[in-house]
Amino acid sequence: MIDLSVHQLALNFGGVRAVDGVTFSLHEGEIHGLIGPNGAGKTTTFNCVTGFYRPTGGTIRFREREITHLRPDQIARLGIARTFQNVQLFRSMSALDNILVAKHSQMRTGILAEALALRLVRRQERMARGEAEELMEFLGLMGIQRQTAGNLPLGSQKRLELGRALALEPKLLLLDEPASGLNTSETQVLAQLLLKIRDRFKLTVLLVEHDMGLMMNISDTITVLNFGRKIAEGTPRDVQNDPEVVKAYLGENSGAERR
C-alpha cells in the first residue's frame, strides 16, 4: 500500500526553483532515503510535505487523502511526524515536557476540566506521563526527564527530538539528517535504532541523510534529487551505480567530501 505520494511537487523561492516537479511515493513500512548534494531541495520537500511551505505546484497525498494545503498541525494530527535539520526543541522546558507536548492531540480534556484538575484530567496526565517515560526508556533517555532540554548535549537533544516525533504516534516519520554531528560508532547505533523503531512502531520512514554508508545500509528505496529535480530512484545498489548520480556528487565537492 502507498503511504505517501508526492506528485509533480514544485516550489520557487523568487527565481530559485528549490523543488522542480518532483514525484515519488512511499510504500507502507519502508525506509525511503532522500539524498542529493547541498541545496538539492530535500529540506524544502520535507517542508512541503509537513505543511510548512505551500507548494507552487503539484499534489501531496497521505493514505489517499490530499494534504497539499493543510496546516502543519493538521498534518501532524493525521499522523506525520518530523524532526528538523537544526534541532528544534522547546528549550526551556524539561525533556519530559518536550515529549508530553507531542501527546497533546491524543489527550481529550477540555480547558474547564483542566482548570479544575478533575479526576479524568489527572488520569490522562498520569497515562501520558507513563507512556512518555516508557518511550524515553526505549530511547535510552532515562535519567534526564527533568533536565532542561536546552542544557542537554547535542546528541541527547537529537535523540529527544526523535522521541518527541515518536510520541506523536505517527504512521509516517520524516527525519532530516538525524546522523549529522554524530561520529561513526554513534551513527551505527542510530542505524540499528531506526530499524528497531520502524519495526516496533510499524512506521514508514522518509530519511534525509548525507551519510551514504547509513543510507545504503538501511534504506529500502532511495530517491536522488539535484537542483530541485529527481535524477534517480531505486534500490541503494541501483542508485549507487547510476551515472547521473555519480556525476551529481562528483560535480559538487562538498557533497562528495561528505562521502
CA distance 194 to 218: 8
Taking contact as CB under 6 A, which single stretch among the options 40-48, 93-101, 126-134, 183-191 is the one that binds ligand ATP? 40-48
Nearer residue to other proteins within complex by CB, 93 or 195: 93
User: Of the two residues 120 and 250, which places its CB atom closer to other proteins in the complex?
Assistant: 120
Query: Are 103 and 128 within 8 A, CB to CB?
Result: yes
Torsion of CA 62, 64, 65, 68, to 10 degrees: 60
Residue among 244, 183, 250 at smallest CA distance from 211: 183
> What is the smallest separation between the CB atom of 34 and ligand ATP, expressed in angstroms?
8
Angle at 87 between CA 72 and CA 84, to 5 degrees: 40
Which of the ranges 38-46, 142-150, 165-173, 243-251 carries the binding residues for ligand ATP, by CB under 6 A? 38-46
* Pick 105 or 253: Cβ nearer other proteins: 105
* Helices of type H across 139-183: 154-167
Closest separation in Å from C-beta 150 to other proteins: 4
- Distance in angstroms (rounded) separating the CA atoms of residues 145 and 127: 16
> Under the criterion CB under 8 A, does residue 32 sit at the interface with other proteins?
no
Determine which residue in the list 27, 38, 73, 155 makes contact with other proteins, applying CB under 8 A.
73
Which grid cell is 96? 519530559
Binds ligand ATP (CB under 6 A): choice among 16, 101, 189, 193: 16
Contact 189, 15 (CB under 8 A): no
Amino acid at 106: Q
- Distances 182 to 163, 178, 187, 217 between C-alpha atoms, Å: 17, 9, 6, 16
The interface partner of residue 44, options being Mg ion, other proteins, ligand ATP, none and the CB cut-off 5 to 8 Å by kind, is: ligand ATP
Work out whether 91 is an interface residue with other proteins (CB under 8 A).
yes
User: Taking the mean position of all CA atoms in its chain, how far away is CA 19?
Assistant: 18
Indicate whether 226 belongs to the interface with Mg ion (CB under 5 A). no
Report d(CA 171, CA 109) in Å as an integer.
Answer: 23
Binds ligand ATP by CB under 6 A, chosen from 21, 39, 57, 79: 39
What does the binding site for other proteins look like in residue numbers (CB under 8 A)? 50-52, 71-73, 76-77, 81-82, 84, 88-94, 97, 100-105, 107, 109, 111, 114-117, 121, 125, 146-151, 164, 168
Which residues of the shown chain bind ligand ATP in the complex (CB under 6 A)? 13, 16, 18, 36, 38-44, 85
Residues lying near Mg ion in the complex (CB under 5 A):
42-43, 85
